[in-house]
Structure 1
Amino acid sequence: MGTNNVVLNRLFTQNVFRKLINDNENMTFGTIVQRYASDFGEKKNGELISEIYNFMSKSYRNEYFFQNTLLNKLLLGRHSVNTTIALTQIPIGKSKADFILINGKAVVYEIKSELDSFDRLNTQIKDYYKAFNHVCVVTSENNFNRLLNILDGTPVGICVLTKRDTISKTLKKDMIEDNSKLEHQAIFKVLHKGEYEAIIKQLFGKLPKASQVFYYDECYSMFSQIPIFEAYAMSLKQLKNRNHILRNKIEKVPYELKSLMYFSNPSSQDYENLEIFLQNKFRG
């Protein structure tokens, strides 16, 4: 499916997005508009983005499409940006978590769209459980039964993005909390320096005195002494301090671009630049 549509994967990326809102043009955007939009010479950029996204909804639901739907339906639809944060592309072992949602608990969502294979799924799930205790695979309706068979008897959940781009209430497998595979090292590697320093200082009252070469290892040595579930709970509190987004700002961003804007760590100027870009006519 969609071999000729692979170019769409390049549009909804941070690199292209930054160039669009800062420079108001980009070769990738221009190529895609001319291929997928009609009467593009008369339309504003915002209208063209919407038209392209609508095509994706019907014919090419790629990883960005799934990720953006999760952000809109779960973070912005069910939760609050004041109490819940999302993370993306977090390295865990040999894998990268597509989407992590953290509120009272943390859930790793692994996206398996119609365009993906399940070849690495087992490895990815094993990696995720080393750093987080809830894992859910997000897939399409067509993949549900196959995935249900693969994940039968495991704590891994399944949620389905329906053909109407909603999250199904019936086609699903509930997640089960699994703390048995949590590892200090995997959790520690998810944390930024300031985050693991805050945990160590809180519990030990001090940071290690070591040269720069050995400082990281000394910090990990102290972190590894903390009981695993306590270390995990404290790490989630630190992670929740990332990605502070103002609801009144993100609400004004078009649905199609919310994920890109959320994960770009936007400044007030970025929001202004985006608004200007969306209102400008296409310059092809």
Structure 2
Amino acid sequence: MKLSGKPDFKDSLIRLALKNYSPLDYSPQLIQLLAVLYPENDFHGFNKQDLHRLINDAVCQGYRGEQVLKYALFKQVQKKNMVAAFEMRVNKSRIDFLTINGHTTGYEIKSALDNLDKLAKQSADYQKVFEFNNVVIDKCHLKSCLAIVPEDFGIITVAGTRKSIYRTAVLNNNIDPAAQLSLMTKRELDVYFDQAALNDAEQVNKNFKKALKARYQERWSFVVAHSVSILPIDIQFFFNTNIDPKYIYPS
């Protein structure tokens, strides 16, 4: 895939391309997106797999958005004995990444391109349901973040390709069993919570973890098993759909 000219990897252009990108796009749509990033090239001779890969490479090399940070979290835990999930709904918020093993650990991402307008509300929602909570932030947000998130939240800073643990998460003592139960489906309530469990906060938390692990086990195992074939920017799509990558990236 030899290209000519210098690519235009401005954050604004990559963000626009990502906004219009879907792993389900056909070649003509992918070519339109690539024409914005590589204006001096003609992509009509490229197969669909190569087109996806070029978009992925542009994002991973020249973008500071959340897709890159989500994949970094995936790589960090994919070989560990745990289950994880992307974008779990928590009240009116959505935690970007969650791991479930002996504990529930949430990660909220705020890239250099994000603002912190919702962070206080998100932090309050996550503190009600998860045992450990973290924010993964671009270093530019550190001062503002310290004034917003609770003291038991971990803070991981990102500067370019470097990550640093600014503050380690502490076990959360503010879990609300009612908030945890509100996130369960009717079936999960029937399977994991009898009347005795409903009246015991410690048991609610224990069964909450069991239910989440069962909910996400199959989807997580799929993306781990197929990770070699999945492009980083598409990892959440495959987690949600469990479509065989060969149908998305035909050569």
Instruction: Name the TM-score, length of structure 2 as normaliser.
Output: 0.80
Q: What is the rounded CA distance, in whole Å, between the counterparts of 1:151 and 1:175 in structure 2?
A: 15
Q: Distance in 2 between matches of 1:98 and 1:248?
A: 21
1:199 aligns to what? 192
Residue 70 of structure 1 pairs with residue 73 of structure 2? yes
Cα distance in structure 1, aligned partners of 2:88 and 2:225: 27
Q: Would you say 1:40 and 2:7 are equivalent positions?
A: no
Q: Which residue of 2 aligns with 1:86?
A: 84
User: What is residue 208 of structure 1 aligned with on the other side?
Assistant: none
Q: Which of 174, 184, 187 is the equivalent residue of 2:177?
A: 184
Q: Identify the residue that residue 233 of structure 1 maps to in structure 2.
A: 206
How many angstroms does 1:136 deviate by? 0.3
> Is 1:278 paired with 2:249?
yes
Aligned length: 236
The Cα offsets for residues 220-260 of structure 1, whole Å up to 9 and x where unpaired, read as xx73x2x2122011110111112312443333323443332
Identity %: 18
Aligned to 1:131: 129
- Counterpart AA for 1:175: A
Unpaired runs of 5+ residues, structure 1, are 205-221
Partner of 1:248: 225
Matched, 1:31 2:32: yes
**TM-score normalised by length of structure 1:** 0.72
How far is 1:42 from its partner? 2.7
Higher relative contact order (CA 8 A, sep 6+): 1
1:50 Cα deviation from its structure 2 partner:
2.7
TM-superposed deviation, 1:146: 1.9
Amino acid paired to 1:129 = Q
> Could you tell me how far apart the structure 2 residues matched to 1:279 and 1:120 are?
39
For the Cα contact (< 8 Å) 1:85–1:242, is it kept in 2? no
> Is residue 172 of structure 1 aligned with residue 166 of structure 2?
yes
Runs (4+) of structure 1 exceeding 6 A deviation are none
Partner of 1:9: 18
Task: Give the AA of the match of 1:159.
Answer: I
Distance 1:67 1:34 in 2: 26
Q: Aligned in 2, Cα 1:231/1:137: closer, same or farther, shift over 3 Å?
A: same
Q: 1:151 to 1:25 in 2, by over 3 A?
A: same
Contact 1:250 1:262 in 2 (8 A): no
Q: Is the Cα contact below 8 Å between 1:49 and 1:256 reproduced in 2?
A: no
Tell me: CA distance 1:26–1:107, structure 2 relative to 1, closer, same or farther (3 Å).
farther
User: Where does structure 2 lack aligned partners over 5 or more consecutive residues?
Assistant: 1-9
Match of 1:211 in 2: none
Q: 1:160 aligns with which of 154, 157, 161?
A: 157
- Which of 112, 116, 119 is matched with 1:118 structurally? 116
Q: CA RMSD in A?
A: 2.7
